[in-house]
Chain A
Amino acid sequence: MRIIYLALLVSNLIAANADSLFVQGNYYFDDEKYIQAARTYERMLISVEHADLYYNLGNAYYRMGEVGHAVWAYEKGLQFEPRNRDLKHNLEFTNTRVKDRIDIPEGFVFLDWYRAFKNSQTVNDLLIWGSVFLLLVGLVYALGQFRFLGRQSTSRLQTAFVIFTILAHGICLDKYWDVTGIEEGVILSSTVNVYSVPAVRDEMIVFKIHEGLKAEITQVHDNWIEIILLDGKKGWIPINTIRPLS
């Protein structure tokens, strides 16, 4: 009991501290002291998280001209609220200033729709969908048993809801694997040489990428990170040129 109480106290303290820091950060932002604002928001991130916190942090970085950090913050915010309009707008807007334009190979239309849907939901969103459908299955079953519903409509409704339940949980599992299995990062340095080996060798430069580009991280080796771009290009970059999104 005492431990719970203590934990509650600590969390209250953290929240109060975060509130004042947030107000302070916004004050710096309005004063056009974007560097201090970003620093304040980053300090908050040590203890707490929120989509809106990442949003403000991204705005501060954008105003500083740090496109890479801004993209990182917006992406991070979208992990929490993938349907946040402001976050989406600012990310899209910032992406117009990213030099690399990667053409994603066009895929199957339904697959793209599925991906788009998956990206617009968090794991918890999908869990809620699943649980609500399961609840409906239960409700229809109970109503059918008590003869409140006809035999036929019961079985139809029940089939539909069972399918939805399974779908929702399946997508949820897929999303969960995405979140835990795929590690991504955003490039911070204005220009980064991508090497075919984890070492600086001029003749081994495969291609160049620029600030703000999102890439998948596949391996880490000492101070080097292996990245793979959306179009399938692969290579090694120094670890300090990228900020992971996990």
Chain B
Amino acid sequence: MRIMLPILFLFEIAAGQSVTASVDVNQLAVNETFTFKIDAKDADNMPRINLLPLEKNFTIISGPAQQTSYQWINGKATSSKTLSWTLVPNQKGRLTIPALTVTVDGKKLKTKPIRINVKGSGQVVNKDELFLLAEIDQDEVYVGEQSTVTYKLYTRVQMSLEDIKYPESVGFWTEELSVPRPPRFNQTTINGVLYNVATLYKVALFPTKTGELELSPMTVRCNVQIQKKRKRQRSIFDDPFFNNFYNETVQKVLRTESRKIHVKPYPSGQPANFTGAVGEFKLAASVDTDKVKANEAVTYYVELQGTGNLNMFSLPKLDFPETMEVFPPTASFEQKQLWDQFTGNIKWEYILIPRQAGKVFLPRIELAYFDPKDEQFHSISSRSVELNISPAKDQLTSGTSGFTKEEIALLGQDIHYNVTSPRSWIERGSRGIPIWVWTSYILAAGLFLAPVTFTRYQQQRIATAGQRMSHRALKRALKSLQTQSSIENVAFTVYTYLKERWQLKTDKMDPLFVEQELNGIIPPEELEGLIQLLKDCDAGRYSPETMTDQDIAGTAGKLLKKMDSHA
């Protein structure tokens, strides 16, 4: 043992943190409460505990209460974090608080199981003197149909309420109808016995699924005053006429019996737009003003009135015209008090800003609901509201969304579709000035130069007219000789040639004048030939037999060719 102790101590240090579970009493009667504590030493954070295994035998009345404490032992600080619950046993017998897994700073630790002895005969108050009752108005309902549960406390003894744990039933949408605080007691008789009765809690339950649904019990802790006989030994001073009784306060926990509600599915014939509304409803829609200008806000009210599971379903989404800007609606719910059937009205307010002038229909609202009274589906709808929107005063749109008018018009559209056929692709970096820009520039330059060029050309033509004529003289003469070789023509051609080529004066053309003019310019033998030819022509003109036309034309041709080179 001596050896063991230090080892144990070491182990403790190594573990660092430790967790202990404890109870304040372990001998108690049914309906008596006790405190269950979990203590974590040297924990940085509150431990987390899974209490599920505990709930089989015990009910948590309150808790957890958190507490952190510091201690200094031998100058060393230790801290501990404590969680505590108030529990009540569910049954009598030897019960065990099982070993619980506690997560401390990420580490999982286990507590030791604790035994608790619960005696059944601890009853200080008779069951029919103080009890809690859950009254259900109907225990067979459709999904979404209301079932009202009233929790009542019946008492014939002096008592005071300590703590009420309201039930939280799974599978229901819960709407509290009344929670009187403090509860008021009335007197009533059951089987001739007078009771004080108080309604503690009235709740409307709307089942969300079909099947057998269990109501979770309500637990009430109360202090009961009971009179007890003094257990003191009789003394001589005692007198039977003295009051031998004294009052004692005992804590008692009351619980309702577990009750079940049978939830039926809907009959067939469910409309497509049914969203789960059960009950009886009315719909109304209105706008705050019928004179609307573009870009000015309009409020669109939708009001749903009725009895049933008002908060359990949603209205279908409204499709407003796309020319309107719609802000998310604000919903306000007003419950009618003091009605056992959950009744009220929901009002939705949509703020709309029309962006375009014109006639617009605000969407109709349709609601399909199931009426459990006649077990049939019904459909209601509001009338559709027509809005005549007059154009805005100024064309500029208000800055609420920052959209311009053109953009508003675009909102309902989509992007245009792709180009599908291949194009003449432009190679990267090959972009330059297009060719016909150059063409145009060059043409323009040409046009500027044209008049000057033309004038110059014309002047030159005029200046060189004679020269050009002399250049062409031989060609013309030869051509003329070839086409017509009569003597007359030969003479005429030669004279013309001489005139054009050698610029001789035209008016006096005879061989003598020619000889005189051309003497020294062309070689003498050629001149001689020319003169001879001209003379022959003159002679031939008057006596055509001397020479043939062919000969004379041929000689003339040869002669002119020879001559021409000297010019």
Q: At the interface with chain B, which of A47-55, A181-189, A202-210, A218-226?
A: A47-55
Measured CA separation A192–B332 after assembly (Å): 39
* B403 contacts across to A, CB distance below 8 A: 96, 101
Q: Is the CB of B423 within 8 A of A52?
A: yes
Q: Is there a chain B Cβ closer than 8 Å to A153's Cβ?
A: no
Q: Is the CB of B440 within 8 A of A134?
A: yes
Measured CA separation A187–B454 after assembly (Å): 61
With A132-B440, A138-B443, A145-B451: A50-B426 Cβ-Cβ less than 8 Å: yes
Q: Mark contacts of A72-85 with chain B using CB atoms, 8 A cut-off: 1 yes-contact digit, 0 otherwise.
A: 00000000100000
Q: Is the CB of B444 within 8 A of A137?
A: yes
Q: Is there a chain A Cβ closer than 8 Å to B447's Cβ?
A: yes
Q: Is there a chain B Cβ closer than 8 Å to A197's Cβ?
A: no
Q: Is the CB of B423 within 8 A of A53?
A: yes
Q: Is there a chain A Cβ closer than 8 Å to B410's Cβ?
A: yes
* A134 contacts across to B, CB distance below 8 A: 440-441, 444
Q: Mark contacts of B101-121 with chain A using CB atoms, 8 A cut-off: 1 yes-contact digit, 0 otherwise.
A: 000000000000000000000
Q: Is the CB of B451 within 8 A of A141?
A: yes
Q: Is the CB of B437 within 8 A of A49?
A: no
With A49-B426, A53-B425, A127-B437: A135-B443 Cβ-Cβ less than 8 Å: yes
Q: Is the CB of B422 within 8 A of A23?
A: yes
* B77 contacts across to A, CB distance below 8 A: none
Q: Is the CB of A26 within 8 A of B418?
A: yes
Q: Is there a chain B Cβ closer than 8 Å to A177's Cβ?
A: no
With A96-B411, A138-B444, A138-B447: A48-B416 Cβ-Cβ less than 8 Å: no
Q: Is the CB of B445 within 8 A of A138?
A: yes
Q: Is there a chain A Cβ closer than 8 Å to B124's Cβ?
A: no
Q: Mark contacts of A220-235 with chain B using CB atoms, 8 A cut-off: 1 yes-contact digit, 0 otherwise.
A: 0000000000000000
Q: Which of A52-111 contact B (CB under 8 A)?
A: 52-53, 55-56, 59, 62, 80, 86, 89-90, 92-96, 101
Q: Which of B421-446 contact A (CB under 8 A)?
A: 422-428, 433-434, 436-437, 440-441, 443-446
Measured CA separation A216–B454 after assembly (Å): 54
* A19 contacts across to B, CB distance below 8 A: 422, 425
Q: Is there a chain B Cβ closer than 8 Å to A131's Cβ?
A: yes
Select which of A22, A46, A86, A139 is within 8 A of B422 by beta carbon: A22
Q: Is there a chain A Cβ closer than 8 Å to B448's Cβ?
A: yes
Q: Is the CB of A96 within 8 A of B427?
A: no
* A22 contacts across to B, CB distance below 8 A: 422-423
Select which of B410, B417, B424, B434 is within 8 A of A128 by beta carbon: B434
Measured CA separation A31–B118 after assembly (Å): 74
Select which of A93, A95, A142, A146 is within 8 A of B414 by beta carbon: A93
Q: Is the CB of A124 within 8 A of B447?
A: no
Chain A contact surface mostly? helix
Q: Is there a chain A Cβ closer than 8 Å to B52's Cβ?
A: no
Q: Is the CB of B415 within 8 A of A62?
A: yes
Select which of B407, B417, B423, B440 is within 8 A of A96 by beta carbon: B407
Measured CA separation A205–B215 after assembly (Å): 57
Q: Is the CB of A15 within 8 A of B440?
A: no
Q: Is there a chain A Cβ closer than 8 Å to B328's Cβ?
A: no
With A56-B419, A124-B434, A142-B451: A50-B425 Cβ-Cβ less than 8 Å: yes
Q: Is there a chain B Cβ closer than 8 Å to A159's Cβ?
A: no
Interface size class of A (residues with CB under 8 A): 35 or more
Q: Mark contacts of A1-41 with chain B using CB atoms, 8 A cut-off: 1 yes-contact digit, 0 otherwise.
A: 00000000001001100110011001001000000000000
Q: Mark contacts of B446-472 with chain A using CB atoms, 8 A cut-off: 1 yes-contact digit, 0 otherwise.
A: 111011001000000000000000000
Q: Is there a chain A Cβ closer than 8 Å to B402's Cβ?
A: yes
Q: Is there a chain A Cβ closer than 8 Å to B74's Cβ?
A: no
Q: Is there a chain A Cβ closer than 8 Å to B420's Cβ?
A: yes
Measured CA separation A14–B444 after assembly (Å): 36
Q: Mark contacts of B369-406 with chain A using CB atoms, 8 A cut-off: 1 yes-contact digit, 0 otherwise.
A: 00000000000000000000000000000000011001
Closest to A138 in B: B447
Q: Is the CB of A14 within 8 A of B451?
A: no
* A86 contacts across to B, CB distance below 8 A: 416, 419
Q: Is the CB of B448 within 8 A of A141?
A: yes
* A128 contacts across to B, CB distance below 8 A: 434, 436-437, 440
Measured CA separation A49–B112 after assembly (Å): 79
Q: Is there a chain A Cβ closer than 8 Å to B413's Cβ?
A: yes
* B451 contacts across to A, CB distance below 8 A: 141-142, 145-146
* A142 contacts across to B, CB distance below 8 A: 447-448, 450-451
Select which of B419, B427, B454 is within 8 A of A14 by beta carbon: B427
* B424 contacts across to A, CB distance below 8 A: 15, 50
**Residue of A23, A46, A96, A128 contacting most chain B CB atoms (<10 Å):** A96
Sample (22) of A-B pairs whose CB atoms are under 8 Å apart:
A14-B427, A18-B425, A19-B422, A23-B422, A26-B418, A26-B420, A29-B418, A48-B426, A59-B418, A86-B419, A96-B407, A101-B402, A124-B433, A124-B434, A131-B437, A134-B441, A134-B444, A135-B440, A138-B445, A139-B444, A141-B448, A146-B451
Question: Chain A: residues with CB nearer than 8 A to chain B?
Answer: 11, 14-15, 18-19, 22-23, 26, 29, 44, 46-50, 52-53, 55-56, 59, 62, 80, 86, 89-90, 92-96, 101, 124, 127-128, 131-132, 134-135, 137-139, 141-142, 145-146
16 new A-B contacts at CB < 8 Å, known A80-B426, A90-B416, A134-B441: A26-B418, A49-B427, A50-B426, A53-B425, A55-B419, A86-B419, A94-B415, A96-B410, A127-B437, A128-B437, A134-B444, A137-B444, A138-B443, A138-B444, A138-B445, A141-B451
